[in-house]
């Protein structure tokens, strides 16, 4: 039975909120034309066919357990330490080993993507689930650690094995979703898995190390946050806060010192990293390997259907703290990748491939992400967006500014974007595209450091504690009919229009705090995952997944659908093609602080979700959400 729809807020409140969002561009004639009421009410005819959300909202209450809207079922599919590869040992938090963790589900599960079996089908009951493992917290791995990362080599080896990715085969049965044991597709990628460097930086002098004098092979991937999937079915995994792994004392790094500082290496006292891996592996000490950090901060591509294939770091997509790597097939067959640099005052980027993808030849994609143009976004007050190409030899990207070749531009993407005049944003995170309209939604999760003198049209609040979401509209595509599967609009055009879509704020008013990840379901409806961090308890609201209206009188308002357990954030939402299953990652449950304010750790977590076994730590998990009646998630 379908749950009743939530009650609508008073129309006056909605109109007031919407006018507030649009007030940031007031005062300019162009802005008034862009954001006036007639355009606001004139929704696309096709959008009216979107089915409404139909569920009763969850109460805004932090609990020890997760909870989902009535009429839905949320079941844990896989937890940290559960087997992925054949021969994985049973989970024993008191006897963790690197060899065991390398065969088990890792920690910090984040981005997820579902890949139907067989390949190329739209099967929604059998497929591969790919999951990123972002980071580890030593205080929840070991009972006697007080630091974020251990200094003991044998423990660091466990941390390395808990990073990376897991690929699991999953099947929907009468009893619910289950992991297929000993699957031939199963795979663990870790911080020591060999990977290739591809694109303009391959073989560059600044990525050569003593262990890899050719500059073509890297060990592992780090801090994998969000990601994306390509039109040919591979996974794009984004490397984010890689600076946390490298010891970089003041005065070290040589010629790379400025570059390292720009990415935050050595920012902690004494140049100490958050994770002290240099105690086990000298490549994480920049005094010995000043080029090793340059081999991280990329987007990694791997084929989930081929566990023997080697992952590849696609350097043409730029080096920064990637939160996402959202792939869009343009109308002319070129592939577009949107990505945000998740740090205060950093930028929004777009890559456009030089070559074209042919849907009739899905395997003919080699090199598409190695050749093309990377651009950074400039948001103008009149509602126009300009993509600024990061091309060596053009404008300030020349030798006198330290850019000797295209490799230098990509290795120092942040500096190149700043010199070009890109707009510094409030921590740009996930970016997703509405496949029905072509509109692009860009998350800014927060920026407490922005002052009143730094406010601009696209970042309207000083000390932005709650975040916001922008909506980009690419120009109409013209010319030949689009290739199959292309998104509406011309995503490779040099300009677009932008609008403020949502301001984070009071959840009681339908304004979720700190939006982070986005996903569109197969019906074209938008869902927003939140990450309040340490402010969760202060705000008195759980992190979770919100159903958000993109059109109509409630545009830009959202309703809580799924709430994480205490201390956790919601990551990586993804749907099966039929929209009847939603997979989400519940990350770092039980961390942060107790309701009374004291700090948490492994022996004293805020919750022991999902097992609630005394003496056992909480476990990051992937949850499968379905309806017992077999209907579409969200109604």
Distances (CA, A) of 530 to 41, 112, 507, 613: 28, 16, 11, 27
Number of domains in the chain: 1
pLDDT for position 176: 97
Among 563, 445, 558, which residue's Cα sits nearest to residue 510? 558
pLDDT for position 587: 98
* Residue 25 within a domain: yes
* Residue 207 within a domain: yes
Q: Under 8 Å CB-to-CB from 538, ≥6 apart: which residues?
A: none
Distances (CA, A) of 159 to 147, 163, 275, 410, 549: 13, 7, 9, 29, 40
Q: Are 621 and 158 in contact (CB under 8 A)?
A: no
Give the percent of the chain with pLDDT over 90.
Answer: 87
pLDDT for position 85: 98
What tokens were used for 520?
Answer: 């569109």
Q: In which band, very low, low, confident or very high, does the pLDDT at 596 lie, cut at 50, 70 and 90? A: confident
* Residue 282 within a domain: no
| Torsion sign over Cα 347, 541, 227, 164 | positive
Q: Helix, strand, or coil here: 293?
A: helix
* Residue 268 within a domain: no
pLDDT tens string 272-328: 999 999 999 999 999 999 999 999 999 999 999 999 999 999 999 999 999 999 999
Residue of 12 and 627 predicted with greater confidence: 627
Q: In which band, very low, low, confident or very high, does the pLDDT at 363 lie, cut at 50, 70 and 90? A: confident
pLDDT for position 597: 86
* Residue 372 within a domain: yes
The angle at the Cα of 313, spanning 307 to 315, to the nearest 5 degrees, equals 160
* Residue 245 within a domain: no
pLDDT tens string 170-223: 999 999 999 999 999 999 999 999 999 999 999 999 999 999 999 999 999 999
C-alpha to C-alpha distance for 458 and 464, rounded to whole angstroms: 12
Indicate which CATH number applies to the domain containing 598.
Answer: 2.120.10.30
Q: Are 112 and 585 in contact (CB under 8 A)?
A: yes
Q: Under 8 Å CB-to-CB from 381, ≥6 apart: which residues?
A: 25, 28, 31, 456, 457
- 133 has which bridge partners? 109, 164
Q: Exposed (0-12), middle (13-18) or buried (19+): which is 140, by Cβ within 10 Å?
A: buried
pLDDT tens string 12-69: 333 333 334 444 333 333 332 322 222 222 233 344 478 999 999 999 999 999 999 9
* Residue 328 within a domain: yes
What tokens were used for 387?
Answer: 């993509």
Average pLDDT over residues 132-160: 93
* Residue 316 within a domain: yes
- Give the containing element (helix H, strand E) for 97: none
Q: Which residue range is the domain that position 130 belongs to? A: 11-240+297-626
pTM of whole model > 0.85? Answer: yes
φ/ψ bin of 27: left (φ > 0), alpha (ψ from -120 to 50), beta (otherwise): left
C-alpha to C-alpha distance for 481 and 332, rounded to whole angstroms: 8
């Amino acid at each position: 039975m379908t749950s009743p729809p939530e009650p609508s807020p008073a129309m006056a409140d909605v109109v007031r909120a919407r006018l507030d969002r649009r007030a940031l561009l007031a005062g300019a004639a162009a802005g008034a034309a862009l954001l006036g009421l007639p355009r606001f009410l004139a929704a696309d005819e096709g959008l009216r066919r979107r089915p409404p959300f139909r569920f009763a909202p969850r109460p805004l209450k932090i609990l020890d357990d997760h909870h989902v809207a009535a009429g839905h079922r949320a079941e844990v599919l896989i937890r940290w330490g559960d087997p992925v590869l054949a021969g994985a040992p049973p989970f024993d938090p008191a006897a963790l080993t690197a060899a065991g963790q390398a065969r088990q589900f890792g920690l910090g599960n984040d981005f997820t993507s579902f890949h139907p079996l067989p390949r190329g089908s739209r099967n929604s009951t059998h497929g591969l689930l790919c999951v990123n493992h972002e980071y580890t917290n030593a205080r929840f791995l070991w009972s006697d650690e007080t630091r974020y990362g251990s200094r003991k080599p044998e423990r660091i080896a466990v941390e390395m094995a808990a990073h990376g990715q897991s690929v699991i085969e999953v099947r929907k049965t009468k009893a619910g979703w289950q992991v297929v044991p000993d699957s031939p597709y199963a795979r663990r990628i870790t911080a020591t898995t060999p990977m290739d460097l591809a694109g303009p930086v391959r073989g560059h002098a600044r990525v050569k190390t003593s262990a890899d004098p050719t500059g073509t092979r890297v060990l592992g991937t780090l801090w994998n946050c969000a990601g994306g999937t390509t039109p040919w079915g591979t996974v794009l995994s984004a490397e984010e806060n890689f600076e946390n792994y490298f010891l970089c004392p003041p005065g070290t790094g040589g010629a790379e010192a400025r570059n390292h500082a720009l990415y935050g290496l050595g920012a902690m006292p004494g140049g100490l990293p958050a994770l002290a891996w240099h105690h086990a592996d000298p490549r994480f000490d920049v005094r010995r390997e000043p080029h090793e950090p340059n081999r991280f901060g990329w987007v990694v591509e791997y084929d989930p259907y081929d566990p023997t294939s080697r992952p590849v770091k696609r350097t043409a997509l730029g080096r920064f703290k990637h939160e996402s790597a959202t792939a869009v097939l343009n109308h002319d067959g070129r592939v577009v990748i949107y990505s945000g640099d998740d740090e205060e005052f950093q930028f929004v980027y777009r890559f456009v491939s030089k070559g074209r993808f042919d849907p009739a030849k899905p395997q003919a994609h080699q090199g598409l992400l190695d050749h093309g143009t990377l651009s950074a976004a400039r948001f103008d007050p009149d509602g126009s967006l300009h993509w600024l190409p990061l091309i060596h030899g053009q404008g300030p990207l020349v030798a006198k500014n330290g850019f000797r070749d295209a490799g230098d531009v990509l290795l120092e993407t942040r500096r190149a974007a700043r010199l070009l005049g890109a707009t510094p944003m409030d921590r740009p995170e996930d970016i997703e595209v509405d496949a029905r309209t072509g509109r692009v939604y860009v998350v800014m999760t927060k920026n407490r450091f922005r002052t009143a003198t730094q406010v601009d049209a696209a970042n309207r609040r000083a000390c932005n504690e709650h975040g916001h979401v922008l909506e980009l509209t690419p120009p109409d595509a013209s010319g030949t009919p689009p290739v199959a599967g292309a998104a509406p609009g011309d995503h490779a055009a040099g300009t677009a229009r932008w609008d403020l879509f949502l301001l984070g704020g009071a959840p009681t008013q339908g304004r979720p705090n700190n939006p982070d990840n986005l996903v569109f379901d197969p019906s074209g409806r938008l869902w927003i995952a939140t990450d309040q961090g340490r402010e969760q308890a202060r705000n008195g609201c759980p992190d979770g997944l919100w159903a958000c209206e993109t059109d109509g009188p409630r545009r830009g308002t959202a309703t809580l659908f799924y709430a994480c357990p205490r201390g956790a954030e919601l990551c990586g939402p993804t749907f099966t093609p039929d929209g009847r299953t939603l997979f989400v990652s519940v990350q770092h449950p039980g961390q942060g602080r107790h309701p009374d304010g004291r700090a948490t750790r492994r022996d004293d977590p805020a919750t022991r979700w999902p097992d609630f076994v005394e003496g056992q730590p909480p476990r990051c998990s992937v949850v499968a959400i379905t309806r017992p009646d077999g209907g579409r998630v969200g109604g």
